[in-house]
Amino acid sequence: MANFETKEIKTFDYERPSIEKGYANQSLHVNISDSEISIKPVTEKMKEVFTGGKGFDLWLLWNAVKGNTKWNDPENEICVAGGPLCGTPVYPGSGKSIVTSISPTTGSVMDSNVGGHFGPFLKFSGFDALEVQGKASGDVVILIDGIDQKIRIMEMSGLPDGAHEVSAVLTEHFGQGKPRNISVITAGPGAKHTLIGCLNFSWYDLKRKRVRYKQAGRGGIGSVFADKGIKAIGVRWDSVNVDTNKPADKAALKAVAKNYSREIVELDPKQNEMSRVGTTHLVTIMNDYDLLPTHNYRYGQHKEAPNMGQEVYRRIFDPGFDGCWMGCTVACSHGIKDFVPLTGPYKGKKVFVDGPEYETIAGCGSNLGIFDPFTVAEMNFYCDTYGLDTISVGTAIAFVMECFETGLINHTHTGGMDFSFGNKVSALELVHQMAKGEGFGKIVGQGIRKMKAIFEKDYGADPRVLQDIGMEAKGLEFSEYMTKESLAQQGGYGLALKGPQHDEAWLIFLDMVHNFMPSFAQKAEALHWFPSFRTWFGLCGLCKLPWNDIVPEDNKDTAEPAKVMKHVEWYAQYFSAVTGRQVSPDDLILMSEAVYNFQRIFNLKMGFGRREHDDIPYRAVGPVTVVEYESRQDRYDTQLVEQHKVDIKDKSTDEKVALLRERREGMYEKLKDAVYERRGWTSDGIPTVETVKRLGIDFPEVLDVLKSHGIE
Amino acid sequence: MIKVKGKEFPWREGMTVADLLKDLDDSYTYVLVRINHKQVSKPDFDKTVIPDNSEVFLVPMVAGG
């Protein structure tokens, strides 16, 4: 056990309120610059307009920052919230938190969702949301002690560097013999030295007697955390049962929860077996459909991909219950016990790897031309304990590898390292460099947008090529799906509020395989409904996996199978039972639409949020190079001839690449038009006054932002 | 004999996933089936032979990410 010293900076006593129908009805504000702690009321209006979770986060952050606030300004905040349904132990997937902040890589508002016990424990300790503002010079640790009703700000020196060790040490220290009462947020040294840092949210795994964690990975919020000088935030809470969240109608809650939980237990073994293999089942499926990114999204398929599929991880994962919240029957948070890294500070030591999930396998594996499950596990372990987002790390290294192989950068830029695709040693070394803020890793850790600028300015690389192959939009690295053959998913990524993350919309099968949305209007409708419904999970503290990754057996016979309406109806019943606010499925969409549009306007406030910011690199739209085109020549030739009515006789591949590009880019712009119209936005992608009035977000400050952009 | 949707179903030598779906007369476009624990995607339905005594799961998959 580490030796560390604690210096108490501030202790703040408070009276914990009773939870009422899913809400604590207050939020906690901590400013670590001056150790100021205050409690703010959560008003009925806040609940009505923003619902909770991400909605509360956004509203609190909006009020804390100005339009010119930068990610590392003291006034920037990290906001954490669950939501009114968060902490319900009987309904699967009810333990999520949402974190928001101004992002170091996008410069705008970022949100990232995460499992673990922090969100539920925070609420039961008396707070629907937490705002942390300011900056400190030392290693600050904040403890929200819901049992003793105290907030403590401490400086702790001598804590270990690795997030898994910090989480374990503080869980034991604060747990007073009951480690399951503790959840800890940590980042790590990589978060401190890069802009793509993640946050680890812990829980105590009773069976394995160890601290586990999940990650709020996207957009560098871990880097904000580290830049503020925060080492950890802990929360302490006692036992939880169905009454803890004080549902308005306990009988109704138990009835709908029982249906859902039973269905998952019955159907998951018949469907994707997520309780056994997690999301690793997606690897071979994506590969089969040419959707698994390989070699920086050039291709969607590789013959070695099955080496990292669910059949392999089924054997590697440590069997047992792996729910990241109590009572979740999906229980997909699997891990690898007694893993021995071959590199880095834990080389030769047995560690537990929390993961990998699909995104990490694709990002740190296939997209780098690496098809070795153990290298992926090692990347996963180090990214987590260093506090690095595995998606941004993977996508950034994939970009580096393509730049290296095509001669845009060379050994002199990489410190002598070879970055050919498939080079496991270099990929791992780069992660270690990111953690130390040294060498080429210091540059790669800035993320792709900043790398593009450095490669152009300092290394003389062609900016047009960098733009085409650098897989970022809005400053955020793409998550791990190929979108070339799904226009709807190009929109799913490009029109997503925070940048290209699939949590807003995943429409590839519906669009590409089922052809459920052949017209622009149908695609626009999907890009209205799905982001709205998926946003709703973030307002309530829920995981989306139980909604559509395990579906009723008769779902396929319903009018709109993709929406899984039986489950949507159950969610409406669930919300009604907890909050006492009687809602229908359509009401859920309206709740989300308000927050969704508010976030779009938040982007506008920060200087983004217009049509030009919804552009995506051409690699996401179609084949950039002759080699890519020729790898799927029949497909592209057929499309040019049959869909676009182009005479390709005597055309060179270069000419066909250009012809296809012109048409596909035109289609993406048409998609933007259709989606903006459906969402009630102007052709520049800005919500109209009519839209914000309809959604009840026409506050004076919102209207002022719109007015400053000519919208009145 | 194989098991499909929890019920016994006659097996024949060389029977592929595509053959089975045709025999079942199920018009839904499945993207995935599982033969025991092994996943088979639609592009491979017509070249994947189902072994005797297998359990086949028709996975009504609509999502991915």
The pair phi, psi for residue A13, each rounded to 5°, is -85, 145
* Residue B25: predicted pLDDT: 79
With an 8 Å Cβ cutoff, is B65 touching chain A? yes
- Average model confidence (pLDDT) across chain A: 97
Q: Per-residue pLDDT averaged across A10-27, rounded?
A: 98
Digit-coded pLDDT (tens) for A156-212 = 999 999 999 999 999 999 999 999 999 999 999 999 999 999 999 999 999 999 999
Digit-coded pLDDT (tens) for A584-629 = 999 999 999 999 999 999 999 999 999 999 999 999 999 999 999 9
Within 10 angstroms of residue A19's Cβ, the number of other Cβ atoms is 20
Size of interface A-B (CB pairs under 8 A): 75
CA dihedral sign, ordered A439, A442, A443, A445: positive
* Residue B5: predicted pLDDT: 85
CB contact under 8 A, A508 and B62: no
Higher pLDDT, B8 or B64: B8
% of chain A with per-residue pLDDT over 90: 97
Q: Per-residue pLDDT averaged across A258-287, rounded?
A: 95
* Residue A417: predicted pLDDT: 98
Q: Per-residue pLDDT averaged across A248-277, rounded?
A: 96
Radius of gyration of chain B (CA): 11
Q: Per-residue pLDDT averaged across A110-125, rounded?
A: 98
Residues of chain A with CATH 3.60.9.10: 5-236
- Of A244, A314, A232, A233, the residue nearest A275 (C-alpha): A314
CB contact under 8 A, B60 and A553: yes
- Cα distances (angstroms) measured from residue A321 to each of A282, A331, A352, A521: 20, 6, 15, 44
- Of A380, A426, A421, A196, the residue nearest A294 (C-alpha): A421
Digit-coded pLDDT (tens) for A382-409 = 999 999 999 999 999 999 999 999 999 9
* Residue A162: predicted pLDDT: 97
Digit-coded pLDDT (tens) for A61-115 = 999 999 999 999 999 999 999 999 999 999 999 999 999 999 999 999 999 999 9
pLDDT higher than threshold 60 for residue A519? yes
CB contact under 8 A, B42 and A549: no
CB contact under 8 A, A281 and B41: no
* Residue A489: predicted pLDDT: 95
- Cα distances (angstroms) measured from residue A239 to each of A14, A210, A228, A246, A333: 20, 18, 32, 14, 21
Question: Do the Cβ atoms of A179 and A168 come closer than 8 Å?
Answer: no
With an 8 Å Cβ cutoff, is B24 touching chain A? no
* Residue A556: predicted pLDDT: 87
Cis upstream peptide for A356 (omega within 30°)? yes
Give domain B2-59's CATH number out of 3.40.50.300, 1.10.3470.10, 3.10.20.30, 1.10.3720.10. Answer: 3.10.20.30
Nearest residue in chain B measured CA to CA from A510: B62
ipTM (interface pTM): 0.90
* Residue B27: predicted pLDDT: 79
* Residue A485: predicted pLDDT: 94
Digit-coded pLDDT (tens) for A421-446 = 999 999 999 999 999 999 999 999 99
User: Is the CATH code 3.60.9.10 the one for domain A5-236?
Assistant: yes
* DSSP string for A178-211: -GGGEEEEE--HHHHHSS-B-EEEEEEETTTTEE
Q: How far is A566 from chain B (nearest CA, A)?
A: 14
pLDDT higher than threshold 90 for residue B61? no
Q: How confident is the model at residue B26 (pLDDT cuts 50, 70, 90)?
A: confident
Residue A487: partners with Cβ closer than 8 Å, 6 or more residues away = A511, A523, A664, A667, A668, A671
Question: At the top level of CATH, which class does the domain A272-477 belong to?
Answer: mainly alpha
A641 DSSP assignment: I
Q: Angle formed by the axes of helices A700-708 and A585-605, to 10°?
A: 50
Question: Do the Cβ atoms of A221 and A78 come closer than 8 Å?
Answer: yes
* Residue B65: predicted pLDDT: 64
**Local structure of A120: helix, strand or coil:** helix
Question: Do the Cβ atoms of A550 and A232 come closer than 8 Å?
Answer: no
N-terminal to C-terminal alpha carbon distance within chain B = 35
DSSP β-bridge partners for residue B34: B39, B57
pLDDT higher than threshold 70 for residue A654? yes
Digit-coded pLDDT (tens) for A472-494 = 999 999 999 999 999 999 999 99
CA dihedral sign, ordered A46, A47, A48, A51: positive
The C-alpha atoms of residue B53 and residue A34 are separated, in whole angstroms, by 70
Q: How confident is the model at residue A217 (pLDDT cuts 50, 70, 90)?
A: very high
pLDDT higher than threshold 80 for residue B64? no
Question: Do the Cβ atoms of A83 and A540 come closer than 8 Å?
Answer: yes
Digit-coded pLDDT (tens) for A311-364 = 999 999 999 999 999 999 999 999 999 999 999 999 999 999 999 999 999 999
Q: Which residues of A134-144 are buried (b: 16+ CB within 10 A; e: fewer)?
A: bbbeebbbbbb
With an 8 Å Cβ cutoff, is A2 touching chain B? no
User: A202: which 2 tokens?
Assistant: 């812990």
N-terminal to C-terminal alpha carbon distance within chain A = 61
Residue B28: partners with Cβ closer than 8 Å, 6 or more residues away = A556, A557, B60
Residues of chain A with CATH 1.10.569.10: 272-477
Minimal Cβ distance to B57: which of A271, A514, A562: A271
Domain ranges of chain B: 2-59
Residues of B in contact with A274 (CB under 8 A): none
Q: How far is B7 from chain A (nearest CA, A)?
A: 13
Residue A491: partners with Cβ closer than 8 Å, 6 or more residues away = A505, A523, A527, A668, A671, A672, A675
* Residue A570: predicted pLDDT: 98
| A212 membership: H or E segment, kind and range | strand A210-216
| A539 membership: H or E segment, kind and range | helix A520-540
* Residue A1: predicted pLDDT: 57
With an 8 Å Cβ cutoff, is B57 touching chain A? yes
Q: Burial of A18 by CB count in 10 Å (0-12 exposed, 13-18 middle, 19+ buried)?
A: exposed
CB contact under 8 A, A513 and B28: no
* Residue A151: predicted pLDDT: 98
Q: Burial of A124 by CB count in 10 Å (0-12 exposed, 13-18 middle, 19+ buried)?
A: buried
